[in-house]
Amino acid sequence: MDYIDHVTVARHASFDAFSAAIGSRRLVLFTTKSQQSLFDFQFMADDVLLFGKESAGVPVAVAEVCHARVCIPMRPQVRSMNLALSAAIALGEALRQTATLPN
């Protein structure tokens, strides 16, 4: 990937280490278990968007410490969406709302 030099990748040894690294920033969980649409949610520019595994989501203990839980509305016949597609939709909406889309 020719764009890898333009991003920062950080790995954390544990969820506690991750939580310490993000400090007081708001942790927004994307989950099919929420009724709150991302389109009705008000994102802030420093929010941290969290996505779980496609097969199982995040552990309950992780979900419980998130500041907000939102979903991407889908047709009732659809169980869930591909993780990469979900992240792209979520990031696009968060950037749009916070007027931080790159030019």
Could you give the domains of the chain?
A: 23-97 (3.40.1280.10)
Using one digit for the tens of pLDDT, what is the confidence trace for 42-65?
999 999 999 998 888 899 999 999
Rounded to whole angstroms, the Cα distance separating 58 from 31 reads 9
Where residue 95 falls among pLDDT bands split at 50, 70, 90?
very high
Rounded to whole angstroms, the Cα distance separating 4 from 1 reads 6
Answer for the pair 5, 41: CB distance below 8 angstroms, yes or no.
no
Residue % of the chain over a pLDDT of 70: 99
Answer for the pair 48, 26: CB distance below 8 angstroms, yes or no.
yes
